[in-house]
C-alpha cells in the first residue's frame, strides 16, 4: 500500500478523533456548494466512515443515491454500520482505490455529482484521483473538493497546529487538490473557512477532447450544458 496512511486499525476511533468541531464546517459547506439535486446520484470519494452521508441524503432525497467509495475495508465497516443503523436504503459502498477506480467499480451507477472531503490530500496521487473522477462523470457533473492547507492571515499563528492535524491524519497539507478542479473545471468557486485552513472548491466538470458524444449524457432534463 503506497499511500500516506492506511486508515485501518484506527477506523473505529475515527469518528471520535476526526475533529468535527473544526472540520464539520467544511463538509456542510461542501454539500451546500456541491448543489446536488433531488434524485441525483452522488459519489463520495474517500468516504471514510460516512460522515457526509446524512447531509448528502438530505440533498438527494429518497429518489437519489449515495455511492461511498473508500480503499479501507475497516473504514467501510464503520460506514456500513452507520448505514444499517439508519436503515438508509439508498447508499452503496464500494471498496476501491480512488487513484485507479473506473466506472465498472460503481455498480452500474453514473454519478451526477462528486464530493470528496479531506481525502484527496491523503492519497499519494490527487491528480490520478481527479482523472478517475473525470472518467466516471460527464461534462456538467457537479464536483466539490474539500481539503486543507496552511491557514492564512492572523490564523497563521495556528499553522503548527494545522500541520500537526494534517500529519496525524496522513494528509499532505501542500497537496491543494481543489486546484485540480480550478484548472480543469467550469464555473469554479473556492471558499476558505477557519482562517483559510479549510478550502471548499466547487464547480462543474468541464468538457475535454477526450469526451465522446456517448459521454455527454445529461440525465436531468435541465438546460443544455455549455462549458
Ligand atoms: C481523513 S479520512 C476522510 C474521510 C471522510 N471523507 C471524511 O470527511 O470524514 C481519509 C479517507 O481517505 C481514504 N483514502 C486514502 N487513500 C485512499 C485511496 N487511495 N483510495 C480510496 N480511499 C482512500 C482513507 O481510507 C480514509 O477513509
Alpha-carbon gap, residue 188 to 142, rounded angstroms: 10
For ligand 1, say whether the CB of 201 is within 6 Å of any of its atoms. Answer: no
Mean pLDDT of the chain: 90
CA distances, 116 to each of 157, 164, 223 (Å): 27, 21, 26
Three cell numbers written together for 153:
492571515
Probe ligand 1: pick from 122, 147, 169, max atoms within 8 Å of CB?
122
How sure is the predictor about 5, in pLDDT bands with cuts at 50, 70 and 90?
low
Q: Looking at ligand 1, which residue's alpha carbon is closest to its atom 4?
A: 48
> Could you give phi then psi for residue 45, rounded to 5 degrees?
-85, 125
Q: What is the pLDDT of residue 3?
A: 53
The pLDDT confidence band at residue 220, using thresholds 50, 70 and 90, is very low
Q: How many angstroms separate the alpha carbon of residue 6 from the centre of ligand 1?
A: 9
In CATH, the number for domain 11-217 is: 3.40.50.150
Between 94 and 3, where is the model more confident? 94
Q: How far is the CA of 226 from the centre of ligand 1 (A)?
A: 32
User: How far, in Å, are 108, 143, 198, 214 from residue 138 at the CA level?
Assistant: 15, 11, 27, 9
Q: Is 137 in the pocket of ligand 1 (CB under 6 A)?
A: no
Report, in this order, helix, strand and coil percent for the chain, each rounded to 5.
40, 20, 40
Q: Which comes out higher in pLDDT, residue 219 or 58?
A: 58
* Residue 116, pLDDT score: 98
For the chain, what percent of residues have pLDDT higher than 90? 76
For ligand 1, the distance from its centroid to the CA atom of residue 151, given in whole angstroms, is 22
Asked whether the predicted pLDDT for residue 35 surpasses 70, the reply is yes
Pocket test for ligand 1, best of 24, 25, 48 (most atoms within 8 A of CB): 48
DSSP per-residue codes, 140-186:
T-EEEEEEE----GGGGGGHHHHHHHHHHTT--TT--THHHHHHHEE
Percent of the chain with pLDDT over 70: 91
Residue 6, ligand 1, Cβ within 6 A = no
pLDDT in tens, 101-153: 999 999 999 999 999 999 999 999 999 999 999 999 999 999 999 999 999 88
Cross-strand partners of 114: 43, 143
DSSP-based three-state secondary structure for 200: strand
The residue ranking higher by pLDDT, 227 or 160, is: 160
Q: CA-CA distance, 7 to 72, in Å (whole number)?
A: 6
Residue 223 has pLDDT above 60, yes or no: no
Per-domain residue ranges of the chain: 11-217
Amino acid at each position: 500500500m503506497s499511500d500516506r496512511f492506511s486508515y485501518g486499525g484506527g477506523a473505529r476511533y475515527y469518528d471520535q478523533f476526526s475533529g468535527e468541531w473544526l472540520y464539520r464546517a467544511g463538509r456542510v459547506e461542501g454539500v451546500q456548494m456541491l448543489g446536488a439535486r433531488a434524485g441525483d446520484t452522488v459519489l463520495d470519494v474517500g468516504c471514510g466512515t460516512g460522515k457526509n452521508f446524512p447531509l448528502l441524503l438530505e440533498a438527494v432525497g429518497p429518489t437519489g443515491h449515495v455511492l461511498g467509495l473508500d480503499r479501507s475495508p475497516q473504514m467501510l465497516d464503520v460506514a456500513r454500520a452507520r448505514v444499517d443503523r439508519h436503515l438508509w436504503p439508498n447508499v452503496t459502498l464500494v471498496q476501491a482505490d480512488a487513484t485507479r477506480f473506473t466506472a465498472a467499480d460503481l455498480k452500474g451507477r453514473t454519478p451526477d455529482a462528486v464530493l470528496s472531503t479531506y481525502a484527496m490530500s491523503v492519497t499519494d496521487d490527487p491528480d490520478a484521483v481527479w482523472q478517475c473522477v473525470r472518467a466516471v462523470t460527464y461534462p456538467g457533473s457537479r464536483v466539490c473538493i474539500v481539503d486543507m492547507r496552511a491557514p492564512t492571515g492572523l490564523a497563521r499563528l495556528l499553522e503548527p497546529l494545522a500541520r500537526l492535524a494534517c500529519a496525524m491524519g496522513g494528509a499532505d497539507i501542500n497537496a491543494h487538490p481543489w486546484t485540480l478542479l480550478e484548472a480543469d473545471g467550469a464555473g469554479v468557486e473556492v471558499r476558505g473557512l477557519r482562517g483559510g485552513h479549510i478550502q471548499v472548491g466547487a464547480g462543474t466538470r468541464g468538457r475535454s477532447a477526450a469526451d465522446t458524444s456517448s459521454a455527454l449524457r445529461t440525465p436531468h432534463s435541465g438546460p443544455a450544458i455549455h462549458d
